[in-house]
Amino acid sequence: MIRSFRGVRSWVLLGLMVTVGFGGACDNDSGVGTGVDAAGNNNTGAPDAAQIDGALTDAAQTDADTVDAWVRPVGDAYVLPVDPHDAFVHPPNPFGPAMVLDTLSIQNSAVGLGPFAGVVNPDIQTGLDEGALLIVIEFLDLDSTTGVIDDSDVTLVMYSASDTDADPANNFSGTGQLTVDLTTATVITGVSITNGAVFVGAGSFQYLSMMMPGLGELVIMDPEISFQVGDDFTAITDGEILGAVPSRTLDLMPNQTGFGNPTGTVLDLLAASIFGLQPDVDVDEDGHLETYEDQSPNSPALDESVSICFDYFGVFDDDECPQYPEIWDGYSIGLDFTAVPCIIAGATP
C-alpha cells in the first residue's frame, strides 16, 4: 500500500552530539512550508503540473536502452525548515515535573523499518543505559501535579540531556539529576491530558530528530506521539512515536551493524543487502514509491550498495542517487518508549 505522507522534507547530516528536536512552524515570509516562495514559485516539494508535463516529455524522449533521467532544477529541491530551537527561553518559574526515557525501541514488524529492529535495538538500549542517549520530557502549566492527571492545556517540552553527576547508574532511579540542553527544546503547547492519556497527532510538528547510538541521527517526519502518565507523575508507560524516515537520511548513516557492506550505509543494508526492504511511505506525494537496487549498467558489481534509483521522474544510475532532489520516499517507523521521573538540575547554555 502507498501511504501518502505530509510534511516539510528534511536534509540531515550526521552529528556527534546527542540531540532531540522537532521542526516548528515556518515563517510564512520565507516561503518555506507555505507552498509558494517570495517569487511565487512552487515550494511544496510536490511537483506542479508544468514539472510533471516536462518530466513525462523528457522521459518519452529518453532511449529505453539507456539509463538517463530528467533532473529537477536545483532551485526546486526540498529545503530544511527553519530550526525552531535556538529561540527557546524557559519560563522564569522552576522546572516542572520531568521524565527521562528509560526504554526506547523500534517496533518489530514486517513493514518499514520493523525488520531492522532486532539489529539496532540493543545498541539503542545500551545508549540509554550508559547515558549516551538521554531524552527528557518536562510538563509545564499544570493545574495539579498530584493524583490522576487531568488537564486540558498542558505544555510539554522535550530536550536532549546530559548526566549531571556523570553516574549513569542513578539516571533511572527516580531522582536522577540531569542537565537539559535548551537549544534542543521542543515546546508543544495546548496538549490535553485525559485520565493520564496524552496524544499529539500527526501534523502538529514537521519532524523529530534524535541521535541513535550505533546508528546515527534518526529523522522522523510528521510524528505522532502518545503515552500514558501515571498518577502523581510516577511514570510514563505505553509510549509510542509513529512517522516515516526519509531514505536520504538513512543513506547518510554509516552501516555499523556488522551485517552487509561494512563500508556502506544503513540504506544500503536495508535496500541492497540481506533485508531487501523498499520504501513504503510516499514522502514526496507523487503517487509512486521509489525503489533502489544494487546492480546497474554503470555499476554491475554485486556489492550490496545502492547504485540505481527508480523514481516517478526517471531512472538515476548513480551511487549517489539517494541524495538526488527527486529522491524522498522513506520507511515507516514505530518507536515504543517508557520513562521514569528525574530532576532537571540545570540547563545549558
Q: How far is CA 59 from the centre of its chain?
A: 32
| 293: pLDDT strictly greater than 90 | yes
Contacts of 60 (CB under 8 A, 6+ apart): none
Contact 337, 170 (CB under 8 A): no
Write the CA distances from 210 to 6, 8, 213, integer angstroms: 20, 17, 10
* Structure confidence by residue, pLDDT tens digits, 185-209: 878 888 999 999 999 998 887 778 7
Query: d(Cα 258, Cα 279) in Å, to the nearest integer?
Result: 22
pLDDT on residue 137: 95
- For the chain, state the CA radius of gyration: 21
26 sits in which H/E element = none
For the stretch 210-225, pLDDT in tens is: 777 666 677 888 889 9
**Residue length, the chain?**
349
Q: Where do the H-state alpha helices sit in 91-246?
A: 117-129
Query: Exposed/middle/buried for 45, CB within 10 Å: 0-12, 13-18, 19+?
Result: buried
Residues 6+ apart with CB under 8 A from 299: 305, 307, 308, 317, 319
233-246, pLDDT tens digit by residue? 999 999 999 999 99
Angle at alpha carbon of residue 309, lines to 303 and 311, rounded to 5°: 165
Largest CA distance in the chain: 70
- Give residue 70's pLDDT: 34
The letter for the amino acid at 66 is T
| Residue (of 128, 57, 64) closest to 342 by Cα position | 128
Q: Where are the beta strands (DSSP E) in the chain?
A: 3-4, 20-22, 98-106, 135-140, 151-163, 177-194, 197-200, 207-212, 216-229, 236-246, 281-282, 291-293, 308-311, 314-317, 330-348
pLDDT for 215 equals: 66
Please state, in angstroms and rounded to a whole number, the distance separating the CA atoms of residues 20 and 11. 15
Mean pLDDT of the chain: 77
Determine the 3-state secondary structure of 43 from DSSP: coil
Alpha-carbon distance of 308 to 294, in angstroms, equals: 7
CA distances from 279 to 124, 161, 186, 283, 303 (A): 23, 32, 28, 9, 20
**Residue 228, Cα to own-chain centre: how many angstroms?**
22
- The cell numbers describing 107, all together, are 517496533
Task: Please state, in angstroms and as integers, the Cα–Cα distance from residue 222 to each residue in 208, 209, 219, 283, following that order.
Answer: 8, 11, 10, 10
Q: What is the pLDDT of residue 155?
A: 92
Contacts of 32 (CB under 8 A, 6+ apart): 8, 26, 43, 79, 81, 82
Question: In the structure, what pLDDT confidence band is assigned to residue 59 with cuts at 50, 70 and 90?
Answer: very low
Q: State the CB neighbour count (10 A cutoff) for residue 65.
A: 6
- Residue 236 near residue 229, CB atoms below 8 Å: yes
* Neighbouring-strand partners of residue 186: 158
Average pLDDT over residues 127-153: 94
Confidence of residue 18 (pLDDT cuts 50, 70, 90): very low
